[in-house]
Structure 1
């Protein structure tokens, strides 16, 4: 089997940033304990829309002891998957790494991609909730990735490129329809064409995959921390 690697001379990760939403403190619900039993603020008059919004805002997320996470990729990035076996293997390793990290949580018994046949072109929250529910998933991890190059570096040296790749992800609680976690992770890197490279665009695509894999790993780490700390449903 051919060994796939990116040499240090070709790829240099310069900076990374991962920002996740902050979990609600327990005191939030203690302060709201004076509200009525249906989750609304006492003394207020609400229409149907207002009532729904207030119920969502006052909902305390609790998950079963063990959960299944369905994964859905929302972007259709061109990573030359079928250009060569190298790209196929890199894509497969990226997916395997994400799933392995999620399954490592003691609160996750399964993490796998939502079957494509369940997902319609209309990807609204209600549609995605129903699709994930049919898959018997407790949570849906939806993400999209994108990569951009800083063009001015190509004018200075056509064999060097500075780029960044970002992964945006949200974790949706299927029971409530609430987004319980959001994460954005960005990896900044510089790549340079080596003497052995026949196509600089191919070199860029490979290092982009490496950067996306690292960003997805950062997302998975944030999700695992959340899962390990989220309150448990009673009798789960």
Structure 2
């Protein structure tokens, strides 16, 4: 995994947490009388039969999978602010993807091509876009950061804030959300001489915090993949 570039920035990472959904126990599928299989438009219906199919469907994946990554939040306006920000953003993405690709169940993890991303982002349209990319799984996430404004009354050159990454892992074949993860990272940042303004200080700290949260998300996804049922071997 590519090492995250360290910027000259005083940042103290505080409390962090990562909470992921629990995998279903194998005993859940012990009753063979439970409904199996899903219709192609399974997520569009709301009748009892389809609800039961969704609840009892057992997700099975190939031995090797492609993960299509989709970022739902829009906060790229700092990316080309300076070389430091470009390097930080690149390292963040490389580290995230490298961690996903480290799983022996993943042969590729790449961002879903922008030209395939529909304007109306619904589960059916995103499934189709991921399928055109021949992805077995879709990992969609969004980031958010908030500052504690009261903290700056103590020192106007310091900020305390937290960043969160919310992610879901969707099985493209069935439309089932197989995993959900929320990872949050607190941080304290202090303005440095090389920072043009305090906003730059905060943004650098946010990128560091988001990077750590994304790595935690990737680890949770890989842990899920290590235990998921397998469809069968893919022909050579």
TM-score normalized with structure 1 length: 0.90
Larger radius of gyration: 1
**Alpha-carbon deviation of 1:48?**
6.7
What secondary structure sits across from 1:122 in the alignment? coil
Question: Number of paired residues?
Answer: 225
**Alpha-carbon deviation of 1:139?**
0.2
What secondary structure sits across from 1:148 in the alignment? strand
Give deviations 1:97-140, integer Å, cap 9, x for gaps: 11101111000000000000001110000000000000000000
What secondary structure sits across from 1:33 in the alignment? coil
CA RMSD between the two structures: 1.9
Match of 2:113 in 1: 115
Match of 2:29 in 1: 29
Change (3 A) 1:195 1:38: closer
**Alpha-carbon deviation of 1:181?**
0.4
Match of 1:219 in 2: 217
What secondary structure sits across from 2:230 in the alignment? coil
Unaligned runs of 5+ in 1: 40-46
Answer yes or no: is the 8 Å Cα contact 1:6–1:207 preserved in 2: no
**Alpha-carbon deviation of 1:78?**
4.7
Distance 1:65 1:164 in 2: 37
Distance 2:46 2:159 in 1: 53
Change (3 A) 1:36 1:104: closer
Matches within 5 A, 1:78-97: 78=76, 80-97=78-95
Unaligned runs of 5+ in 2: 39-44
Answer yes or no: is the 8 Å Cα contact 1:187–1:212 preserved in 2: yes
Match of 1:53 in 2: 51
What secondary structure sits across from 2:60 in the alignment? coil
Answer yes or no: is the 8 Å Cα contact 2:95–2:215 preserved in 1: yes
Matches within 5 A, 1:97-176: 97-176=95-174
Matches within 5 A, 1:171-190: 171-190=169-188
Answer yes or no: is the 8 Å Cα contact 1:12–1:191 preserved in 2: yes
Distance 1:166 1:16 in 2: 10
Distance 1:116 1:16 in 2: 32
What secondary structure sits across from 2:208 in the alignment? helix
**Alpha-carbon deviation of 1:192?**
1.2
